[in-house]
Amino acid sequence: MQIFLIRRSLGFLATLFAISVIVFLVMNVLPGDPAVTILGIDSTEDARAALRAELGLDRPIWLRYGDWVWGAVRGDFGTSYFFRVPVSELIAERLPLTLSLAGLAMLATVLLGVTLGIVAAANHGRTGDWLIMVLSQLGIAVPAFWLSILLVLLFAVKLRWLPPGGFPGWDEPVLALRSLVLPTVALALVQSAVLARVTRSSALEVMRLDFVRTARATGLPPGRIWGRHILPNALVPIVTIVGMQVAAVVTGTIVIENVFYLPGLGRLVFQSIANRDLFTVQALVVMFAGIVVTANFLVDIAYALIDPRLKGRLA
Amino acid sequence: MRRRQVNLWLGAALVGLMTAVALVSLFWTPYDVTQLTISRKFEPPSPTNWLGTDQLGRDVVSLLMAASVNSLTVAFVAVGIGGSIGTALGLAASAWGGWVETLVMRLADLGFAFPALLFAIMLAAAFGPSLGNAILAIAFINIPIFARVARGAANQVWTRDFVLAGQVAGLGRLRLTVDHILPNIAAPIIVQATIEFAVAILAEAALSYLGLGAQPPLPSWGRMLAEAQTLMYLAPELAIYPGLCIIAAVLGFGLLGDGLRDVTDPRLTRARA
């Protein structure tokens, strides 16, 4: 177990390192001169030279990479060329909104997805099962941004129950939560469609096994059979998918924040692309990729904790 | 047995329809999509314009038809590039094993850390947003997927008797891979490609919606949605049709892929029933 943890942690760190190299290469080396990327092709050579000196772009590439990584490790992502403030400050301002949205969406996904999956499995072969499966097949095909537009059309434009977009800030918690309802639903509906399918098939697998039949035969109430016998054994595939969904939801916030004009990290990415704010985009891409990798890493650790069979094999 | 047939045929019908519409639109659309008639903007559905006209007076049916070409082309090129490279890497990993296999699989793991959106964002920031960059981003995320599928399938084929016979007969790994392994892993690769087609159409729509894909005036479902969103109070129906097209395309390829997998690999059907 400990060997597994150490090996997996080293792999995790190596992946983070590799990500930083890839992002740095794609954004700093492939395009040629970052000064041209930032200032545009119609800029003068003097202006480019001045910018190169200002940003330290005239130094050797490996030195720039080293400085960038060393800074990033300490939470310093350099200065935003457009906003003229530290990138870490921009991130700190917007991170709470993005994390709240992602957290709410994950919570809704798990509650809805697992519940629907259990209902479908418990009613295997009947109308309820069929209905949930058809809906989830549809849900997988629906683009989250289109679902968002439909939700806005119905609940903001037609019924006027909820705001169509924007964010009033956390000073007004009720209004803030209200403006997160539609984005959360848009993110969670699509993801819970996937989770419902996985939960259903995983539960069906377990329900066929002998110990469940024995539990039934001994007259245990259905709630107890589900809680003590079926769900714990059906958990591994569910946790795998939930882990992948953390990554999907976090990158999904980039899209959804832009649909609803929410001032989070996803909006910042697009503002920074439009502003040619190369280093802000670079920091954000590394952050998002880092979150994806961290989610996968935690899932691997969770496996070892929830599945005793794996525990033995991994030791 | 019956359900998998339903998936397969429903998927095939949707994909067939979508492809037919795209092919027809190459030669003919009810109206020219580049022709702007501002005086006829926001017209309701009528016998002459089945779904009405948009904010620039263009026929919505014609736009949707023309945009289907964009979606299918992007998916075809991106999955084609990513699938070919990925399959080649997976086959090489399986044939040579050892450090080649370790290297390919580690790189594949790394590839999974970059969703298409992040990759497209990087490319857009470095080179400016374009459809080409969107295709590259979608192609890139397909490489690790196909590398894993190809390696897994190829590893099974390498243990079969006819491959052993080929080895005994002195055939090299490259020759065996091309002549014997590849044809025998075609089924899972085609199934994966069909499913990834659906994912690619969804990804293209999202990237174009965000302005990182198809650029004006190229018609694209994603971009039509982005434009319709700004006109939601004036013409809400314009935000409906492109979404329905995306769903039909994604559902079509998804169902076809599922159906094909069930037909080509009956073991899975029983496991998932």
3-state secondary structure at position B212: coil
CB contact under 8 A, A22 and B205: no
Distance from CA of A151 to the nearest CA of B (A): 11
The structure tokens listed for A227 are 């809680």
pLDDT by residue (tens digit) across B213-249?
888 888 899 999 999 888 888 888 888 999 999 999 9
- DSSP 8-state assignment for residue A165: S
Q: Find chain B residues with C-beta within 8 A of A157's C-beta.
A: 232-233, 236
CB contact under 8 A, B236 and A153: yes
Per-residue pLDDT of chain A (315 residues; tens, 9 = 90+): 678 788 888 888 988 898 999 888 888 777 767 777 777 777 888 888 888 777 777 788 888 888 888 888 888 888 888 888 898 999 999 999 999 999 999 999 999 999 999 999 989 888 888 888 888 888 888 999 999 999 999 998 889 999 988 888 888 888 999 999 999 999 999 899 989 989 998 998 888 888 888 888 888 888 888 888 888 888 888 888 888 888 889 989 999 999 999 999 999 998 888 888 888 999 999 989 888 888 888 887 887 777 666 555 544
Q: Find chain B residues with C-beta within 8 A of A281's C-beta.
A: 121-122, 125
For residues A193 and A144, is the Cβ–Cβ distance under 8 A? no
Residues 9-68 of A with CB under 8 A from B: 15, 18-19, 22-23, 26-27, 30-31, 37
For residues B156 and B97, is the Cβ–Cβ distance under 8 A? no
Q: Find chain A residues with C-beta within 8 A of B117's C-beta.
A: 251, 254-255
pTM confidence score:
0.88
CB contact under 8 A, B113 and A292: yes
**Domains along chain B with CATH numbers:** 2-24+54-272 (1.10.3720.10)
Nearest to B209 among A31, A138, A145 (CB): A145
ipTM of predicted complex: 0.84
| Chain A, nearest residue to B127 by Cα | A31
Question: Crossing angle of helices B221-230/B241-264, nearest 10°?
Answer: 150
Residue B59 forms beta bridges with which residues? B53
For residues B25 and B66, is the Cβ–Cβ distance under 8 A? yes
C-alpha A175, offset from chain centre = 24
| Chain B, nearest residue to A36 by Cα | B126
C-alpha A130, offset from chain centre = 29
**Domains along chain A with CATH numbers:** 100-267 (1.10.3720.10)
Mutant choice from A80, A273, A282, A288 vs B, greatest count of B C-beta within 10 A = A273
Query: What does chain B come to in residues?
Result: 273
A94-123: b (≥16 Cβ within 10 Å) or e: beebbebbbebbbebbbebbbebbbbbbbe
Distance from CA of A312 to the nearest CA of B (A): 24
CB contact under 8 A, B126 and A137: no
Whole-number Å distance between alpha carbons of B194 and A13: 34
Whole-number Å distance between alpha carbons of B250 and B246: 6
Whole-number Å distance between alpha carbons of A193 and A137: 7
Question: Smallest Cα–Cα separation from A120: which of A143, A137, A140?
Answer: A137
Nearest to B118 among A37, A144, A289 (CB): A289
Nearest to A146 among B127, B211, B225 (CB): B225
